[in-house]
Structure 1
Amino acid sequence: MICKWDSVDFECLKRSLLNVLESIDFNQKWFKIALGFVGFNPVFWNVVARLEYGTRFLTRLAGGARQGCYLLALTIFSLGVARDLCFEWSLRSQPVSAVLNQELVKNVGRVCIGVGQLLVVTSMYQLGITGTYLGDYFGILMDNIVTAFPFNVSNNPMYHGSTLSFLGYSLLQGKPAGLVITLFVHTMYSLALKFEEPFTAKIYAQRDAQRAKKD
């Protein structure tokens, strides 16, 4: 059943949403693997970064803080590529929903992908590799808080941009399974921020306190 987007029929909307959920193959192998990567990746980089902060094991292993950060960056990037590939492979075998397979939805998906990629690319440009990939846990701190775009529209443009990209691709493909994975991506990023933001604030507060003592 396809509802008209120019009018609100809540009963039709309810039936459409049920049809969307029923069309998802939750037992598909790549769907499960994609969810596994989505859940594992932020847990991995938070655990490893905390261990690095407390023990400097990556700094010693790589022969320096910057080299250690690059090693972690390469690992996180590789895990992200594996996650994205599994996400794409999962959607290939998932059914298309008639509710989502409409030009308006596809156009929304294209906009989401465009905005999402813009946030990701400009965030990395502003922060650089060490700023993007947890360099502060290695003692590589930025002199000042970045306030230029995209940080003037989002506190966490990398996470928001990534989530929008997942959402946009799912809408463009018309695959409800992608929306479920996107929701899980958003949930995991939100949980990760609850650990990352206070700890990062603590690191910079300690740096500022040490500077104040020297002055």
Structure 2
Amino acid sequence: MASITDYIDFSQTSLHCPIADAPSTTTVAAAAIAFNPIFWKANLNTHDSIVARQEYRNHFLTRIFGSPYNGCYVLAVAIFSLGILRDHLYNRALADQPLYQPVSQPYLAYGLFTTGNTLVLSSMWALGLTGTYLGDYFGILMDAPVTGFPFNVTGSPMYWGSTLSFLAVALYKGKVAGLLLTLEVFVCYWLALKWEE
């Protein structure tokens, strides 16, 4: 009977940071996946993000950057940059993992990646920059709730679109480690949604 170590190679040097005794890139990728929604969305005690709650209560970004819009734009750059870093760490963690042929499904991956990115990009288009990046915590409110596509398909198109994109990369590359990290993405977003309720 096969074990998980047959499909995830923990001994690969690419899994380890160049600094001696540093955590593996898989561990760093897992930490980045968990950190992002905690940073911008979920705080166990307040049901809000660490940054968003501080802005809502204390207007610290508004004061630092001179206006609610400037503060929101800076937060948007931070959130977007953390997402790019997370995606880079995810890809780096998968780079030297063994290929498991049954997981390698490039055509399914193309469909999932297209669907996932359609959900993410169309929701960003519908919400605009300040709607996407927590503008409501800065007092920047939309005129009405967005109910058209993709929000008429799912209430959380960014979460599920992002999850589909992670799954697509794992299937495209045929990496079991990618499936496990995708499961972590799913759980983190699912918990973030539970905290929002």
Superposition TM-score tier, normalisation by shorter sequence: 0.7 to 0.9
- Offset at residue 122 of structure 1 (A): 0.4
**Off by >3 Å, runs of 4+ in structure 1:** 18-22
Q: What amino acid maps onto 1:115 in structure 2?
A: T
For residues 145 and 3 of structure 2, the distance between their equivalents in structure 1, rounded to whole angstroms, comes to: 46
- SS of match in other structure, 2:103: coil
Q: Which residue of 1 aligns with 2:21?
A: none
Alignment of 1:1-215 (within 5 A): 18-19=2-3, 22-26=6-10, 28=15, 29-45=24-40, 46-101=49-104, 105-195=105-195, 197-198=196-197
For residues 162 and 179 of structure 2, the distance between their equivalents in structure 1, rounded to whole angstroms, comes to: 13
- Offset at residue 108 of structure 1 (A): 1.2
- SS of match in other structure, 1:147: coil
Q: Which residue of 2 aligns with 1:201?
A: none
Deviation string for 1:18-66 (max 9, x for gaps)? 5566411357321111101001111111211111111110110110111
Deviation string for 1:66-101 (max 9, x for gaps)? 111111000000100000001111111111112213
Q: What amino acid maps onto 1:108 in structure 2?
A: L
Q: Which has the higher helix share?
A: 1
- SS of match in other structure, 1:130: helix
Q: Which residue of 2 aligns with 1:6?
A: none
Q: State which structure, 1 or 2, has the greater radius of gyration over its C-alpha atoms.
A: 1
Does the 8 Å contact 1:135/1:141 carry over to 2? yes
Counting aligned pairs with the same residue, the percent is: 49
> TM-score, normalised to structure 2's length?
0.86
For residues 26 and 146 of structure 1, the distance between their equivalents in structure 2, rounded to whole angstroms, comes to: 45
Does the 8 Å contact 1:26/1:32 carry over to 2? no
> TM-score, normalised to structure 1's length?
0.79
Structure 2 segments unaligned to the other structure (5+ residues): 16-23, 41-48
